[in-house]
Amino acid sequence: MKLDANVLIINEPNSAHTAELIAFLHEHGCHVCKEMKPGPAIEKAQNIPFDVIILDAGIKEIEITGIIRILKELNPQSRIIVNTHSNSKSQEVKIRGEKIFYYHIESFGTNELKLAVQSALERKKP
């Protein structure tokens, strides 16, 4: 199924699932922008309406909830998926409190993340 969507990925360069996720998105006709730092990602979000934003919770430059708020302000229709390498109850509660689309823990596996992304893309607003 071709989804013709814009997807922004903000994560570390050596993230284990990134290459597989990008290939999956390209197979589904998505346009993918990848950034390692929030500053350039926010600049892109000012100019491009992203349907889905996949954000690594481990980004250090800006508090994760602050990044989510900025991205939601710039792209209110975006579905935000937050991925984390390690989880804690306090982190999960804080991030879910921002009303994101999906909270993914890497130990769930890449297939679970792809299903979440596909679900977010299928809910793309017209």
Structure confidence by residue, pLDDT tens digits, 42-54: 999 999 999 999 9
CA-nearest of 67, 66, 126, 68 to 101 is: 68
CA 103 to chain centre: 10
Strands, E assignment, the chain: 6-10, 31-35, 52-56, 79-84, 102-105
How many independent structural domains does the chain possess?
A: 1
Pair 27, 71: CB distance under 8 Å: no
In a domain, 55, yes or no: yes
Tokens of 100: 């994101």
In a domain, 1, yes or no: no
In a domain, 126, yes or no: no
- Beta-bridge partner residues of 55: 10, 82
Range of the domain at 96: 6-121
* pLDDT values of the chain reduced to their tens digit, one per residue, 126 residues: 556 788 998 887 666 678 888 889 998 889 999 998 889 999 999 999 999 999 998 888 888 999 999 999 998 999 999 998 888 888 889 999 999 999 999 888 889 989 999 899 887 645
CA-nearest of 118, 60, 58 to 82 is: 58
Output the domain CATH number for residue 47: 3.40.50.2300
